[in-house]
Amino acid sequence: MYKLDKDLVFSNLTKNHIGRKLIILEEVDSTNDYAMKLVNEKYVSGSVVIADIQYAGKGRLERKWHSPRGLNLYMSFILSPRIKAAEVNILTFISSIATVDTLAKYSIQSEIKWPNDVLINAKKVSGVLTEINMVKNKLEHVVAGIGVNLNMDSDALLSSGLSEIATSVYIENGKPVNRNEFLITLLNNLDVFYDNFMKLGKEYIYNQWSSRWYSRDKPVRVVMDNEQFDAICKGLDKEGFMIVQRDSGQTVKIVSADVSPL
């Protein structure tokens, strides 16, 4: 649906940082894996890999990302940011913010679930997976992959076993999405927010992200290191990790966990 048009997309991009080179593939195991191979070949920062189908799409915590042909958006971009490896989640945050703002163009109100999901009415419509390339203990490149469910219908989600936890733009507003237009808007939003990060710093991004975060000051269930507990989200620390407060009053920094609303 709406065949991807490289020339059309490229000609409408701002290309300050992201979108300097586009690679559109008919099929791929994973756009992140493909992009990581390009990194090893000294590929240009700002390159974007998009595929019509992924056979081994990846999500956070080694989960699979369902990626049927021609319906949705599967993409990864490469950057060489001047940040420490511990700060790489800033690219995850930028990706989530840009996705929320792109969905708004389609009259879709969405929110971010820490750290990398975008939800519509508590169902997942998009996810981000950020991976790094280190050389001699120094961060050289970051690859950020974004998947967005655009044109899957209810039957497609049902057959994939995801209808209880996922949704799509088409399901939410009943209108087919032109993938070229969505891609252009998303890449330009990414470019703007990354440029603002370069100029204004990570606090700007944290503030933008927090304003779109649905869990702040709300109860959540945290599953972490074989432990499960309920808590209240209190915000982000200076590194972008989530801070929660347990019933005992103890505050806990969440670095990696599965966090769900109560």
> Using CA atoms, how far apart are residues 109 and 119, in angstroms rounded to an integer?
9
Residue 163 pLDDT grade (very low, low, confident, very high; cuts 50, 70, 90): confident
Residue 67 pLDDT grade (very low, low, confident, very high; cuts 50, 70, 90): low
> Using CA atoms, how far apart are residues 115 and 66, in angstroms rounded to an integer?
19
Residue 63 pLDDT grade (very low, low, confident, very high; cuts 50, 70, 90): low
Tokens of 178: 């032109």
> Using CA atoms, how far apart are residues 123 and 136, in angstroms rounded to an integer?
40
The pLDDT score that the predictor gives to residue 64 is 57
Give me the domains of the chain, ranges plus CATH numbers. 6-210 (3.30.930.10), 219-261 (2.30.30.100)
76-103 per-position pLDDT tens digit: 999 999 888 888 999 999 999 999 999 9
| Percent of the chain residues topping a pLDDT of 70 | 95
Does 148 or 237 have the greater pLDDT score? 148
The pLDDT score that the predictor gives to residue 229 is 93
Is residue 61 scored above 50 in pLDDT?
Answer: no
Q: Are 209 and 93 in contact (CB under 8 A)?
A: yes
Residue 65 pLDDT grade (very low, low, confident, very high; cuts 50, 70, 90): low
Record the pTM.
Answer: 0.91
187-233 per-position pLDDT tens digit: 999 999 999 999 999 999 999 998 888 777 889 999 988 889 999 99
